[in-house]
Amino acid sequence: MTAPLPASGAIAVRLCRLPHGAGLPLPAYQSAGAVGLDIPAAVPEDAPVRIEPGQRMLIPTGFALALPEGYEGQVRPRSGLAHKHGVTVLNAPGTIDSDYRGEVKVLLVNLGREPFEIGRGERIAQLVVQATARAELTEVPSLDASQRGSGGFGSTGS
């Protein structure tokens, strides 16, 4: 079952702002062609989070989602944070299942050489809403041959 499309052609996703997310902007697209909604951090105003080099930390966002059945949320890194600071989403893309109703949190890791501080409202990741398909596995005694065969990592070039 897929979600009905609103007049804009977008997928309708319900979002619940949590108390510690009060006053923060909602996740938002930053340009007309953007695929990901930028996600702000819901850390306390008076207590920014510091991630030391090599450290990972789960960052609250202050919201929960109700994604339609047949869709997932993918939490992805922001390229600017990765390029400028070496800060990225550790489990990229992180998956938010359609039946999950808890707070969306972002698992960040600092792969840079300097500590990185996250202030309230700083855009820390992006959310892409994507249609999904469920697989129906069928066990078979062997698989059809292919040009690649069983060649693994690096077998098609570099």
DSSP-derived secondary structure for 96-123: E-TT--SEEEEEEEE-SSS-EEE-TT-E
Long-range contacts of 87-92 (CB under 8 A, 24+ apart): 87/51, 87/111, 87/112, 87/116, 87/124, 89/125, 90/56
pLDDT surpassing 60 at residue 82: yes
How would residue 147 be classed by pLDDT, with cut points 50, 70 and 90? Answer: confident
What confidence score (pLDDT) does residue 4 get? 54
In this predicted model, which residue has the larger pLDDT, 50 or 151? 50
Name the CATH code of domain 31-131 (choices 3.30.565.10, 1.20.1440.230, 3.40.50.970, 2.70.40.10).
Answer: 2.70.40.10
How would residue 150 be classed by pLDDT, with cut points 50, 70 and 90? Answer: confident
Across the range 57-62, mean pLDDT stands at 98
Report domain extents, the chain: 31-131
Across the range 123-142, mean pLDDT stands at 96
Strands (E), 41-86: 49-51, 56-66, 71-76
pLDDT surpassing 80 at residue 153: no
Across-strand partners of 74? 95, 128
- Give dist(CA 24, CA 61) in Å, integer: 9
Q: Is the peptide bond before 27 cis (omega within 30 degrees of 0)?
A: no
pLDDT in tens, 1-59: 455 555 567 899 999 999 999 999 999 999 999 999 999 999 999 999 999 999 999 99
Across the range 64-75, mean pLDDT stands at 97
The tokens describing 17, both together, are 């702002």
What confidence score (pLDDT) does residue 79 get? 94
What confidence score (pLDDT) does residue 27 get? 98
Q: What length is written for the chain?
A: 158
What confidence score (pLDDT) does residue 149 get? 82
What confidence score (pLDDT) does residue 7 get? 53
